[in-house]
Amino acid sequence: MANSPTGDSVLARIVRVLDSFEDGAPLTASQVARRADLPVATAHRLAVALVSHGLLERAPDGRLRVGVRLWELAARAPRALGLREAAMPFMEDVHAATRQHVQLSVLEGDDVLFIERLSARNAVINLVTVGGRIPAHASSSGLVMLAFAPPGRQEEVLARPMRPYTAATIIDPNRLRRELAEVRRVGYAVTGGHVHRDATGIAVPVHGSGNAVVAALAVVVPSADAQPRQHVSALLAAARGISRTLGAALPTPSAERLSSPHAPAPG
Amino acid sequence: MANSPTGDSVLARIVRVLDSFEDGAPLTASQVARRADLPVATAHRLAVALVSHGLLERAPDGRLRVGVRLWELAARAPRALGLREAAMPFMEDVHAATRQHVQLSVLEGDDVLFIERLSARNAVINLVTVGGRIPAHASSSGLVMLAFAPPGRQEEVLARPMRPYTAATIIDPNRLRRELAEVRRVGYAVTGGHVHRDATGIAVPVHGSGNAVVAALAVVVPSADAQPRQHVSALLAAARGISRTLGAALPTPSAERLSSPHAPAPG
DNA sequence: TCCGGCTTCCCATTCAACGGGATGGGCACT
DNA sequence: AGTGCCCATCCCGTTGAATGGGAAGCCGGA
C-alpha cells in the first residue's frame, strides 16, 4: 500500500472528512477516521493539514470542528450566499406580511437544499434548517423547481424510489407528473402535510439571469390554515423582485435594454 | 519536477483555487490558474475534480464558480451557521426595534468576519457583506471582541501595523489599548466613523458555552444620529438571549442545571 | 495497576499527482 | 479566409508527496 491503495484522491478524502461533521458537533480525530473510513494516521494528518488552512478548527477541548474559514470560502457560492443576498430584503417583506416561516432553496441533486430561512417564533414546527436537505418530491419548493426544470432532470428524480414522509407524500411517478403539470399551469405549488402532517408549504419559482428557474421561495404555514393560497400573491411579488435583482428578463410587455457588463452571448 | 515542484500540498492548492473566487464571479479555468498561480493543466485538472465533488460548479456558460455543495459542508461550522442559527431570532428583535443594520460577527485572525447581517433598506451605506472581513482594530465589533479576548491575542493584533480607513480610525497601539480598557469597563463599543465617516457602529459581546466572548452583535447607524448609545440596551438584551441560547452561564444568581445530552466533560 | 482509547511521530514504499506540450475550437479582428 | 489570441482538454513520462502500519506517550476510569 502506498499512495492510497483504496484508490481515492486526496480531494475525495478531504470531502469525506468534512462530510463526517454531519451534525456540526465537534469530533475527535479518531471519530473522523471512523466516519470517513480512513486509517487513524491518515485522518489525523489530514485533520492537522485542514486545521492549518482553517478549514477545520480546534474546539476549546481540542476536538475538531468545521472552521469558519471554510464557511468564508463557501460564502462566495453564487447559488448560496449570492442568491441569499439578492433575496433577503424580499424575504423580509414576505415575513413581515405573513409572519410565517419563509424559506429560500435551490435544487441540489435530487434534494432541495435550504439556503435561508426566516422563522416565525411561534409558528409551526420547524422542518428544515439552513444547510439542510429534503428530497425534492416531498416539498413544495422541490415541486416548483422540478416543474420548471428540464424534462431530463425531472425524469431522473421520478425514476428513483421516493421516500414517503407522511401518508400525503406523493411517491407515485405518475401522480407526481400530473402534479408538476398542475404546478406549471398555476405557477405555484401547495403541499399540505407532505413532509409533516401539521405543516403546509406554498412555493413559487425564482428566475435567474438566463430566465431559468434557479430557486424556490416558500412559506410554511400550519396545515390548519384554511387559506394557504392567500400567501401566493405575496410570494409571487417577492419572487418577482428577487428575479429582477438576479437579472431575469421578466414577462413584461416591453423588453428591458440593460447594458449588462458580462454575458456577451446572445440572449 | 513532478509531484508539485513548488512544494505545496494538494490541499494548499485546493484552498488557493477556492480562494481565487474572491468576488463570487464565475472564472474560466485559465483565470483560476493565473489567480491561484498554478499551471493551466493543473488548475484544469483540479477544477474538474472539484466539480465532480460539487465544491465547484459549472455556470451555464461553462465557467467555474463556487458550488453549493461547498456551502453545504461549510454550513456545519459551529462558529458560522451554528452561531447564526442561535442569533437570528434575537437579531430580528433588534432589527425590528432599531430599523438599522444589525450585524453578527466573529474574530478570525486579525479580522472581524461577518456571519450575518440584517440590513435596513434605507439606512446608511452598507459597509460589509456577509462573508466579508474588516480589520478588528477598525470596527466596533472588533473592539468588543478584542477587549474580551485573551491578552496575548490582543497584543498580536496591536503589534501589527493598523490600516486607517478614515481620519477617525484608531491606529495607535496605546490609544487602542486605552479604548479596549474602556470597552471592558462599560461593556460595549462605539466607533463613530472609524470605517466610513457616515457610519457609526455600536457593538456588544456575545458569550459562548465556556463563557468566553465568541462573537459580537452590532448595529450600524448614521453618524448623524445624535444618540447612538440609545441602541445599547436593545443590543445587550439580544446578546444576552443569544448567549443564553449558546449555553453561557450568565451572571445571574442561581446557576442553571441543564441535563445536556452531549458534552460528558465536566462543566 | 492495568486497560482502552486517544494523539502524535516515524519512515520506507509507491502510485496519484504533476505539468509541459500538443490538439482543436471559438471569436475578433483584418 | 487568414491570422492571432485565448481557451479547454487530453496525453504521458516522471517523481516526490502522500500514505498507513507501527510504536510511543498521555490521560482517565475501572
Which residues fall within 8 angstroms of residue B144, CB to CB, at 6 or more apart? B183, B188, B189, B203, B204, B205, B213, B216, B218
d(CA B248, CA B250): 6
Q: Are A247 and A208 in contact, with CB atoms under 8 Å apart?
A: yes
**A131-190: pLDDT as tens digits:** 999 999 999 999 999 999 999 999 999 999 999 999 999 999 999 999 999 999 999 999
Residue of B nearest to A49 (CA): B11
DSSP structure class, residue B125: P
The shortest CB-CB distance from B21 to any of A24, A69, A76 is to A76
For residue A168, the distance in angstroms to the closest alpha carbon of chain B comes to 28
What pLDDT is attached to residue B123? Answer: 66
Q: Which nucleotides of C are covered by protein (CB under 7 A)?
A: 5-10, 13-22, 27-28
The residue whose CA lies nearest the C1' of nucleotide C21 is: B41
Element (H, E) at A57: strand A56-58
Question: Quick one: average pLDDT of B118-132?
Answer: 80
A118 and B92: CB-CB below 8 Å? yes
At residue B121, the pLDDT reads 73
Closest C-alpha to B134, from B116, B112, B155? B112
Quote the CA–CA distance of A250 and A243 in Å, as a whole number. Answer: 8
B181, amino acid identity = A
Run of H or E including B31 = helix B29-36
Query: CA A182, CA A186: separation in Å to the nearest integer?
Result: 6
**How far apart, in whole angstroms, are the C-alpha atoms of residue B224 and residue A166?**
55
A123: Cβ–Cβ under 8 A, 6 or more apart, which residues? A99, A100, A101, A220, A221, A222
The DSSP string of B223-250 is: TT-S-GGGGHHHHHHHHHHHHHHHT---
Going by the DSSP 8-state scheme, the letter that residue A144 receives in this structure is H
Of the candidates A147, A262, A156, A265, which has an alpha carbon nearest to the alpha carbon of residue A213? A147
The Cα–Cα gap between B102 and B218 comes to 6
Residue B100: CB atoms within 10 Å: 23
Q: Say whether A49 and B118 touch across the interface (CB within 8 A).
A: no
Residue A189: helix, strand or coil by DSSP? strand
Instruction: Please tell me what DSSP assigns to residue B152.
Output: H
Q: CA of B15 and C1' of D22: distance in angstroms?
A: 32
Cα(A71)–Cα(A67) distance, integer angstroms: 7
Closest CA to B118 of B86, B83, B88: B88
Separation between the CA of A75 and the C1’ of D11 (whole angstroms)? 36
* CA B54/CA B31 separation, integer angstroms: 19
Tens digit of pLDDT per residue, chain A (267 long)? 445 555 689 999 999 999 999 988 999 999 999 999 999 999 999 999 999 999 999 998 999 999 999 999 999 999 999 999 999 999 999 999 999 999 999 999 999 999 999 987 766 677 788 999 999 999 999 999 999 999 999 999 999 999 999 999 999 999 999 999 999 999 999 999 999 999 999 999 999 988 899 999 999 999 988 798 999 999 999 999 999 999 887 765 433 333 333 333 332
On whether the CB atoms of residues A228 and A100 are closer than 8 A, the answer is no
Tell me the nearest-neighbour CA distance from B39 into chain A, angstroms.
Answer: 18
Query: Per DSSP, what are the bridge partners of residue A64?
Result: A27, A58
Our CA-based measurement puts residue A57 at a distance from the nearest CA of chain B, in whole angstroms, of 9
For B251-267, what is each residue's pLDDT tens digit? 653 333 333 333 333 32
Chain A positions touching B210 (Cβ under 8 A) are 60
Do residues B208 and B217 make contact, with C-beta atoms less than 8 angstroms apart?
Answer: no
* Beta carbons within 10 angstroms of residue A260's beta carbon: 11
pLDDT, average across residues B176-203: 95
- DSSP label at B168? T
Contact criterion met (CB < 8 Å) for A11 and B9: no
List for chain B the helix, strand, coil content (%; round to 5): 40, 20, 40
Q: What is the pTM of this model?
A: 0.88
